[in-house]
Amino acid sequence: MSFDYLLNKINAAGLEHEPFSHLYIKDFFNNQHFSQITAAPEIALRARDSDGQLFDELFEAGYKIIEFPGCITNKDTYINWHRVKGTKQKHNNTACEGFGVTLRLMSASTPFISELMQFINGQQLQEVLAAKFGIDLDDVFYDSGIQKYLDGYEISPHPDIRRKALTYMVNINPGPGSEEKEHHTHYLVFRDAYKYVQAYWEGHPEAERCWVPWNWCDTRKMQRENNSIVIFSPTNLTMHGVKARYDHLSNQRTQLYGNLWYHVQTVTSHPEWEDFVISQAEPKLTTSIKSKVKSVVPVSMRDFIRSHIPGGKHVARKF
């Protein structure tokens, strides 16, 4: 069964620019294919009564827990946390409130899903994605898969690390009503008071980009539509995040997910969001933190703060 028409859709799609440059295609798969995907036993798992039963079902279907941002890999730790959800987590980024588990389908039991996995891992798709965004395939390597994300999964707003050349996400959620559930990707912009962080990333390509708190950004778009794909090449503007709060026992957030990664790592420093907190009252800044922030604030950022942020002149004078 051919999926070549998907390559044609990607080639023909035009870029959207709100809130940043990306491809967005609704009804990515044709109706027949999408119905087969969401009805396949690897995707539409049987409803279970407990987290333990759900993990058993996932493992039996061919899924494996993987290392993934915003997640832990210990099943028992997750189950214990989820039982008393709302307790403070210690396993995720400090910009987040929760954490989850991501599982990737390692083997398919149905021929149709097996063929789909071959397609998303195939050379043709990689070539089309790279060409669409002007990426040299010799500079990158590829990873992709079918993934499920359990309740609590959270990755706060971030633009993706500099080593990522491209990312795509296709919603293939089984079960009715998935579009109304709270587990979809947010596409965001920095609030004016925090745009100096973006200015810093722009002026310091050697510094890694980090996750930031949710209240530093505003959501402009959400990818709620089932059978939709979003593709973009990360820049300092490509802020996105997920906060999954939903009942995963009947059906789970499910995606086709893939990335192109640069072979060469170019960053030499890794400032975290706490390093960018510069608007606190003077007594609350310890000497070490203040000096650390001051050392990473270039003159160009101070000028940006003065000209773009309410009260910026007062903040910038401290530095």
Helices (H) and strands (E) in the chain, counts: 10, 11
Residue-level pLDDT, tens digit, the chain, 319 residues? 689 999 999 999 999 999 999 999 999 999 999 999 999 999 999 999 999 999 999 999 999 999 998 898 999 999 998 988 755 656 667 877 778 899 999 999 999 999 999 999 999 999 999 999 999 999 999 999 999 999 999 999 999 999 999 999 999 999 899 999 999 999 999 999 999 999 999 999 999 999 999 999 999 999 999 999 999 999 999 999 999 999 999 999 999 999 999 999 999 999 999 999 985 554 444 555 445 555 556 666 666 556 655 555 544 444 4
CB atoms within 10 A of CB 276: 19
- Residue 216: helix, strand or coil by DSSP? helix
Q: HSE of 99 in the Cβ direction (CA atoms, 13 Å)? A: 24
d(CA 156, CA 127): 30
pLDDT at 48: 96
Strands 140-149 and 253-262, bridge-based pairing: antiparallel
d(CA 19, CA 280): 29
All domains in the chain, ordered by first residue: 4-199+211-262 (2.60.120.620), 277-317 (no CATH)
Question: pTM, whole model, 2 decimals?
Answer: 0.86
CB 38 within 8 A of CB 44: yes
pLDDT at 278: 80
pLDDT at 70: 85
pLDDT at 285: 47
What's the token pair of residue 194? 């925090």
What's the token pair of residue 119? 């397609």
